[in-house]
Structure 1
Amino acid sequence: MELFYFVLPAPDIDKSKAFFSKVFGWKDFGGAQGGHVGCTNTPCGLGGDVNELYFTTLDIEESLKKVVAHGGAIVKQTENSVGKAALCQDNQGIYIWFQEPSADPHIREHALNPKRGTANSDLFFFSIPAPEEAKAMDFYPGVMGWTFDEKKAKGGMGIQNTKGAQGGLSVGNAKSQYPSLWFRVDSTETTLRLVKEAGGKGEIFEAPEGIMSECEDDQGVKFGIVQPAPGY
């Protein structure tokens, strides 16, 4: 199951657009709420109060049956021009969305052939909290069909069988009910300088994946940046 769309919180949409335009160069904002970003390989938007990840399903009713069968819960269901969507919780209370795309050819093409971003400001990685590994290993393979690599430092487990945006689980992370988002940058040092100039904050650290920083924008919204190491 592939990532269809993601949303970064935007307490004040105009401030969020100004911040991420300066930091990431995002532009071409549109959509019904004015927060859709029109220049990234993995489609995304600004809005709401929490990180939202939408995963593609071609049969949302079947996916929801699997959610319930594996101990999760259906929170709400919606439908709009993009298609049918449902907000769910996994078997540990973590929030994720499912999206069944409409018949629109452009939307279907993206859903069936997602792109993996390689440019500055594209999504590098999404991380889903997994307080208990055993429960996550029942839910995500059973519901999403995912396979994982071996657990690494800090409990990270990468999804092996996706062709679009990369992601994984943060095993042992019980601090949040929402996924975290990390963005690819050409230079962490340069991007962090822009973050601070725009009123945000963050500190650089190094990891096997590259030179990284956990950041906050000028409204306290958290996100990560990564200057990937060779091979990433």
Structure 2
Amino acid sequence: MRITIDSADQPFIHRLLGEEIEQIDIPSADPRLSLALQVARQQKNHEADLDWKRNALFLFLFVFLYVVLGASLTLDLTAQAPSHKSLVYALEAVPVLIAFSGLFVSLLFLFFTRSSARRLRSWDHSIFVLEKYTGSNLYLQVNEMGARTTNYSQSAINIALALFICVTWVVMYNYFTFTTSGVIGSVISLFITTMTYVILDIQLLKSGTSIAIDEPLIPAEEDKDKK
């Protein structure tokens, strides 16, 4: 049985095999496709495992920041007022600094969840395509089972959670800045929040760009023979 490769899947198969193929024999498909399918499944499971570990680490860090922020708010500066006003101002700025730290970490958490969701979607798409041309549709069938109103995306849930945490830290950071510095400080904090997001977005996008390889890599043995 021969299956004609869809035009939408042609670029993926071409980049994977390094040659243009219009049809594939099923079940005696190219062994490279079966190997790629196995690697894609393993890598997808590895990404999912790293995803929940990373989320647990960030949530633990957020709980720690919430506890530290709450402890800083319980400080009574009027009971034992320091002799220098500069020290009083420094103590009043502690909640602001903690809130900004939480804001920065929450932005990183948001970018992490978006990046993880993109990678998981890429692996899912790779598995769907590879199963189509290796005679196995198990992954597709399992995902379509019970796909009704409760078929929520786990990646979308993680992004929603990260966005909610990020918004709470934005509100707290601007609120504490307003209580310590007034309206001008609140406007400045909004500007700092926007610039922090933009700068992180640009820098992380730069580091995530793919590296183009101009020349093919030469194995070590072939390289020695040429020398």
| TM-score normalised over the length of structure 2 | 0.22
Q: Which has the larger radius of gyration?
A: 2
| TM-score normalised over the length of structure 1 | 0.22
| Higher normalized contact order (CA 8 Å, seq sep 6+, divided by chain length) | 2
More helix, by proportion: 2
More strand, by proportion: 1
